[in-house]
Amino acid sequence: MRPLQAVEHLPADSDNETLDDLIDLEIEALDEESKEEEAKKKEEKRMKPHVIRRNVEDYLEQKALERRLRDVFDVDYLLD
């Protein structure tokens, strides 16, 4: 049961300290939830090692292909 839900079950003559304590607990619970959500978002944003490795491999393959194509279709033969 969340703290503010507990307030609904308090007797009408309960003191303000109890209510203040429950409100503080609710605020702390919301803060913890927001911190957990932020941590999850940061974890999702961080690139995983296998994705980075795959991106590097793709980049290297693309550069190798460009070199081979440059060798095959060398522009110098047009100048001869």
Domain identity same for 37 and 73? no
**What is the spatial distance between Cα 10 and Cα 7, in angstroms, rounded to a whole number?**
5
Domain count, the chain: 2
Domain identity same for 3 and 41? yes
The model carries a pTM of 0.41
Domain identity same for 42 and 66? no
Report the number of secondary-structure helices (H) and strands (E) in the chain: 4, 0
pLDDT at site 61: 96
Expressed as residue numbers, the domain containing 42 is 1-46
Domain identity same for 41 and 55? no
Place of tokens 């300290």: 17
Domain identity same for 2 and 31? yes
Q: Are 26 and 3 in contact (CB under 8 A)?
A: yes
pLDDT at site 73: 78
pLDDT at site 55: 94
Domain identity same for 35 and 53? no
pLDDT, one tens digit per residue, over 40-70 is 888 877 888 898 999 999 999 999 999 888 8
Domain identity same for 41 and 65? no
Does residue 80 surpass a pLDDT of 90?
Answer: no
